[in-house]
Amino acid sequence: MGFFNRKSKIASTDTDSVTSKASHTTSNLQSPPPNKTMNGSLPALPPSPINIPLPPPPDPTVDPTAYLRSIHSVRERSKVVHAKAKRDQLNHFDVDLSKFGETAAYVVSIIKRDFAPEYHTIPPHGRWQHFEVGGRLRIDQLLTSWPSQVDAQERTRRLIDLFLVSVLLDAGAGTKWSYKSKESGKIYRRSEGLAVASLEMFRAGYFSSNPTEPYQVNAAGLNRLSEGQLAIGLQVSDTNPLTGLEGRSGLLARLAEALENPEYFGSSQRPGNMLDYLLAHPTTQNSPVPVITIPTLWSVLIDGLANIWPASRTQIAGVSLGDAWPCSSMPSPPHAQPWENIIPFHKLTQWLCYSLMAPMTRLMSIQFAGVDLLTGLPEYRNGGLLIDTGLITLKAADAKRGLDAYKSNSMVRGQPCMEVVPLFSAEDDVVVEWRALTVGFLDDLLVDVNRLLKLDGSDKLSLAQMLEAGTWKGGRELAEVSRPNTKEPPIMILSDGTVF
């Protein structure tokens, strides 16, 4: 998960699995928090409050750009492809709905194995769990290490600082990279390895410009962080190469520029200052507990961080839409307006939403209205689950084209050359259709998973809980069994790191 430059494309792989004793001051640490609750391992986010008005989506006939950049558009546009899937009328995939029950049963088996019967303890999908790899409650330990003078609001700011940088560094690491924890000496890889690395860098003050305040991320700190320093923090070397190091460094530089916006990120230019913006926003309800609307959080991320996203291949009137792509399964001119041919996903912005809600909820009891607007993440673990269980199958002509592409790519030094699977670029129509299918079928699976678990009413799993305990984990485990050497998904993405 990350946003890198578009120079050298690489085949995306899912193998992405320095404690400082710097002094700190306690000045400016007190804020008037609505609630001083601090609990590092609470279960799922609370359900969306009732009777909290949400703004309607932008009217696409009036402002198609605003509509396609909105969270509302993701599920609405994906439904067009999903409806065709139900009729087995897709351009690139055959759909066998007789396999849907087996797919749901597999997801349920994973959830039961790990959580039965205490399903209410399943946390929502987010970055927090990656920090706890190996069963070590690293965020709890981090919170405990701070003096009591650091109040709940500042603690939340600090975790937002950490989580945002950690999510943005969380792109595919390649097959050879690993990270040895300076705290435990254990070795981690994949997303979990990058989580531990980013946490230890945060504790060491890598992202802060103030040596006496290491536990923050600010624009000045990011501006002074060179690619070489980032390599040291991530333990990158000739024998421990990390895919996309240059891109990660460039991303942090662009984040520094984005943080110079005082409206969202305050005079200290920290990601965590978005908390103050959100609490003061006119749409936020502050009694009896703060209730922030998802569209408000969404606007901070999609607008406040606009310049860190790569220039999209899809634009309307010169405005980049971000993670949004044309799809041949969608209506096209002359029978439709040009915007109707585009499917938005905004996967990384959604991943940030899921991840940043957790510290705000757990430390300050903040609730969020409109969580149901967020969708299942359209990425290759959730999508790979649908293929590896036989629910969808790539059509023969596309499979041949993808296998030919894999063969050509395997000739490039350092690229995968075993456990051959079809390979496509992120903007390929196959991948766009696959991602839209993923959004739709994840919604369907949630209904069946709750039915099979016999959960109803307030006991039902949320979509974020199913992603965490079932589909994402299940997709990864199926890949490990089906392709044990590479652990690749059933379709590889020739990615520049800007989508996956």
Question: Could you read off the pLDDT of 221-272 as tens digits, one per residue?
Answer: 999 999 999 999 999 999 998 878 888 898 899 999 999 999 999 999 999 9
Given a cut of 70, whether residue 15 has pLDDT beyond it is: no
Distance, first Cα to last Cα, the chain:
5
Quick one: how many helices (H) and strands (E) in the chain?
19, 13
For residues 314 and 321, the answer to whether their CB atoms sit within 8 Å is yes
CB 12 within 8 A of CB 492: yes
Scanning the structure block, which residue is given the tokens 């998904």?
489
C-beta atoms surrounding 61 within 10 Å: 9
Q: What's the pTM? A: 0.87
**In whole angstroms, what is the distance from residue 424 CA to residue 155 CA?**
42
> 368-395: per-residue pLDDT in tens?
999 999 999 999 999 999 999 999 999 9
Q: What confidence tier does 171 reach under pLDDT thresholds 50, 70, 90?
A: confident
Summarised one tens digit per residue, pLDDT across range 38-91 is 344 444 444 444 568 899 999 999 999 999 999 999 999 999 999 999 999 999
Dihedral angle over CA of 4, 9, 13, 16, nearest 10: -30
The pLDDT value given to residue 364: 95
Dihedral class, residue 442 (left if φ above 0, else alpha if ψ from -120 to 50, else beta): alpha
C-alpha span between 171 and 15 (Å, rounded):
9
User: 205: left (phi > 0), else alpha (psi -120 to 50), else beta?
Assistant: left
Strand pairing partners for 315? 320
Range from 175-179, 324-328, 402-406, 451-455 carrying the lowest mean pLDDT:
175-179
